[in-house]
Amino acid sequence: MRIVLVGAGGTLGQAVAAELGARHDIVSVGKTRGERQVDMADFASVRRLFADIGAFDAVVSTAGHVHFGPMDAMGPPEYGVGLADKLMGQVNLVLAGRERIADGGSFTLTSGILTDDPIRFGTSASMVNGALEAFARAAAIELPRGLRINVVSPTLLAESLDQYGPYFRGFATVPAARAALAFAKSVEGAQTGQVYRVFG
């Protein structure tokens, strides 16, 4: 398969590239790095990306930003970060990608544990993750041509503990390589409308 991997330069993206790249052709995409660049929050940028890439069989996203902060200091601009980038950015990949992806192709998006286990300062992440999962379940019953869509929801990655550990006290971590297996299950399997939780 030819797989478009958005967020390929990140910690999780590199692990997914290593897992799937052993068997498939990976097109590495990032906002500023990779073979190609895209601004997921800009639908026109996403459409140009897929037009430039040509034929492909799967889209995997390990990208998306949210704002962490106390709720009493959060307003529309802070919530807007996650809504525009992690939520609509990944939805944009599906909306533009469905026009060009091969019959029977798949989309795999990334949410996170905060859908199910919220933390202080994480209201934006919980909101966005939950919306992504609901979107995928609903889209799965409407996508044409045998297209599939799933979401991977990992807990904190072991490799990210130094950066995000203070937010996730008491959470078990998983290695990025383990989370990458869920992406392989989505891309190489047959299920759709699923949320693959990798919590430890």
Domain ranges of the chain: 2-198
| Matching residue, tokens 């990032």 | 30
Residues 6+ apart with CB under 8 A from 149: 94, 106, 107, 108, 109, 136, 139, 140, 143, 192, 193
CA distance 7 to 30: 5
pTM (2 d.p.): 0.96
* Per-residue pLDDT tens digits of the chain, which is 200 residues long: 999 999 999 999 999 999 999 999 999 999 998 899 999 999 999 999 999 999 999 999 999 999 999 999 999 999 999 999 999 999 999 999 999 999 999 999 999 999 999 999 999 999 999 999 999 999 999 999 999 999 999 999 999 999 999 999 999 999 999 999 999 999 999 999 999 999 98
Structural fold of domain 2-198? Rossmann fold (3.40.50)
User: In this predicted structure, what is the pLDDT of residue 200?
Assistant: 80
Q: Are 65 and 114 in contact (CB under 8 A)?
A: no
| CA pair distance 136, 115, nearest whole angstrom | 14
Task: Give dist(CA 5, CA 165) in Å, integer.
Answer: 26
Other beta carbons within 10 Å of 14: 20
Please tell me the predicted confidence (pLDDT) of residue 34: 87
